[in-house]
């Protein structure tokens, strides 16, 4: 089965094409294309993502990125069969003017051998989600290909099962997992601990009560005068500061919610502690910045790892899956590795390239769903859902 994945939930325009063989979950996966066009440079000047600006960029870029993906997958073939009036039938010009303009190029293509289109339905920014969904619908009605709606967070879970082998033109097997598994999902919009009873069966154990972990990294970065997105910047500063062997000035931050009797998180108070500290400082020297970055990162990681440990132990989990942009954080990865070793459980953390948003994870989740729920009706009429939940 050949699956096209489309991801536009935030500021990455991503398209992937994969081919699966065999029965889920024992199937072989071949990555035919995996394109990610990041809008980070554009949003950086504003210090964050502007939904309507992001939407316009997705609309401008989806068709070219898709065509590039087809070329990479050797599925690009031109034809002259379709007429321009098909565009109006496929894309609503009023709602998606930029996408409509681009869509003519699709009509010059021969239908590629794609069996399913998997597209992110949510959670994320609703205007940008809609552009991805409208594009999926346009392709679906032009070429009569069924659409599978995908939960972005489920995508991050599947990203952790991709492994290093998931490279273009490589064939590989999905990681085998023993249930129950625990998944720690840490991104710019979400911080969640999920129990996975079996494939596609989720139970939300806890989530953040205010800011997400990635959001806290981004906000603290801004306080320290670092560019968006803040996670990689803080992580780099923290690492360099620790490596320098400096002992620092004794800065300490609280471990939010670590002792609370649930699986919830909270990062807004931690961010405020950083803000108060910085306001009191006579000068934000590079050394102090490094120390704050390190101590802040340690506070976030301690709280994430602490709650994850409790969940794994209390629920007797055999497998820990970690995904989302913050999973790219090396300090978090190291600490989770130490923990998993101490318990003898399997730990799958998404590769750094697959931690931040991509369409490979959406295609994989779509392929798995299509294989498991083969009889599900085509549901191309679903709406974007900015607050979509896993359960
Ligand atoms: O999953 P993602 O790409 O987008 C969302 O679905 O939100 O996550 C983006 C978030 C941003 O907040 C970014 O600062 C954070 O992931 N991030 C990191 C690192 N790399 C990205 N946070 C901490 N350390 C990193 N190395
Ligand atoms: Zn994400």
CA of 187 relative to ligand 2 center, distance in Å: 6
Q: What pLDDT is attached to residue 97? A: 94
Q: What pLDDT is attached to residue 376? A: 65
Nearest atom (ligand 1) to Cα of 230: 14
Q: Which residue is closest in CA terms to ligand 1's atom 7? A: 188
Contact between 258 and 212 under an 8 Å Cβ cutoff? The reply is no
Give the residues surrounding ligand 1 with Cβ less than 6 Å away: 10, 187-189, 214-215, 217-218, 229-232, 235, 324-326, 328-329, 356-357
CA of 107 relative to ligand 1 center, distance in Å: 36
Q: ∠ at Cα 180 (177, 186), nearest 5°?
A: 80
Q: Which residue is closest in CA terms to ligand 1's atom 19? A: 231
d(C-alpha 165, C-alpha 191), whole Å: 27
Q: What pLDDT is attached to residue 87? A: 80
Q: Which residue is closest in CA terms to ligand 1's atom 2? A: 325
User: Which among 157, 217, 304, 325 is the best mutation to test ligand 1's pocket, defined by most ligand atoms within 8 Å of the CB?
Assistant: 325
- Long-range own/partner contacts, residues 68-72 (CB < 8 A, 24 or more apart): 68/15, 68/33, 68/35, 69/4, 69/15, 69/16, 69/17, 69/33, 69/34, 69/35, 70/17, 70/33, 70/109, 70/112, 72/17, 72/32, 72/33, 72/35, 72/168
CA of 189 relative to ligand 1 center, distance in Å: 9
Where b means 16+ CB within 10 Å and e means fewer, 215-241 reads: bbbbbbbbbbebebbbbbbbbebbbeb
CA of 192 relative to ligand 1 center, distance in Å: 14
Unique residue bearing structure tokens 């990203």: 159
**Chunked mean pLDDT (size 10), the chain, 391 residues:** 98 97 93 96 89 96 98 92 73 93 90 97 98 97 94 98 90 92 97 97 98 97 95 98 96 94 97 98 96 98 98 97 97 98 97 96 96 72 94 85
pTM: 0.95
Which residues are within 8 A (CB) of 147 and not within 5 positions of it... i.e. 6 or more apart?
A: 116, 117, 118, 119, 136, 137, 140, 378, 379, 380
Length of the chain: 391
User: Which among 217, 271, 333, 361 is the best mutation to test ligand 1's pocket, defined by most ligand atoms within 8 Å of the CB?
Assistant: 217
Q: What pLDDT is attached to residue 374? A: 73
Q: Which residue is closest in CA terms to ligand 1's atom 10? A: 188
CA of 326 relative to ligand 1 center, distance in Å: 4
Q: What pLDDT is attached to residue 81? A: 62
């Amino acid at each position: 089965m050949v699956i096209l994945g489309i991801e536009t939930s935030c500021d990455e325009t991503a398209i992937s094409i994969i081919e699966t063989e065999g029965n889920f979950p024992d199937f072989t996966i071949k990555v035919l294309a995996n394109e990610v066009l990041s809008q980070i440079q554009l949003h950086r000047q504003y210090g964050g993502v502007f939904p309507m600006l992001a939407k316009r960029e997705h609309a401008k870029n989806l068709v070219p990125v898709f065509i590039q993906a087809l070329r990479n997958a050797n599925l690009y073939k031109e034809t002259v069969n379709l007429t321009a009036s098909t565009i109006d039938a496929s894309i609503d010009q009023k709602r998606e003017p930029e996408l409509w303009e681009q869509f003519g190029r699709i009509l010059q293509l021969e239908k590629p051998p794609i069996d399913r289109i998997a597209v992110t339905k949510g959670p994320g920014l609703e205007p940008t989600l809609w552009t991805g969904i409208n594009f999926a619908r346009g392709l679906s009605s032009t070429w009569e290909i069924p659409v599978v709606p995908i939960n972005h967070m489920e995508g991050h879970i599947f990203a952790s099962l991709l492994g290093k082998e998931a490279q273009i033109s490589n064939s590989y097997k999905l990681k085998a997992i023993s249930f129950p598994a625990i998944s720690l999902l840490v991104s710019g919009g979400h911080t969640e601990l999920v129990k996975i009873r079996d494939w596609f069966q989720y139970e939300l154990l806890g989530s953040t009560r205010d800011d997400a972990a990635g959001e806290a990294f981004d906000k603290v970065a801004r306080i320290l005068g670092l560019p968006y997105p803040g996670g990689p910047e803080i992580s780099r500063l923290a690492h360099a500061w620790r490596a320098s062997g400096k002992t620092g000035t004794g800065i300490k931050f609280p471990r939010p919610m670590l002792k609370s009797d649930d699986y919830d998180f909270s990062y807004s108070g931690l961010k405020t502690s950083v803000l108060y500290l910085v306001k009191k400082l006579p000068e934000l020297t590079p050394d102090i910045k490094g120390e704050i970055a390190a101590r802040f990162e340690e506070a976030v990681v301690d709280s994430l790892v602490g709650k994850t440990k409790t969940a794994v132990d209390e629920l007797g989990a055999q497998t820990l899956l970690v995904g989302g942009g913050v999973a790219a954080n090396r300090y978090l990865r190291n600490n989770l590795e130490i923990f998993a070793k101490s318990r003898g459980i399997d730990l799958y953390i998404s590769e750094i390239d697959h931690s931040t948003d991509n369409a490979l994870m959406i295609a994989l989740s779509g392929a798995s769903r299509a294989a498991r729920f083969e009889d599900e009706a085509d549901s191309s009429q679903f709406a974007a859902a900015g607050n979509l939940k896993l359960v």
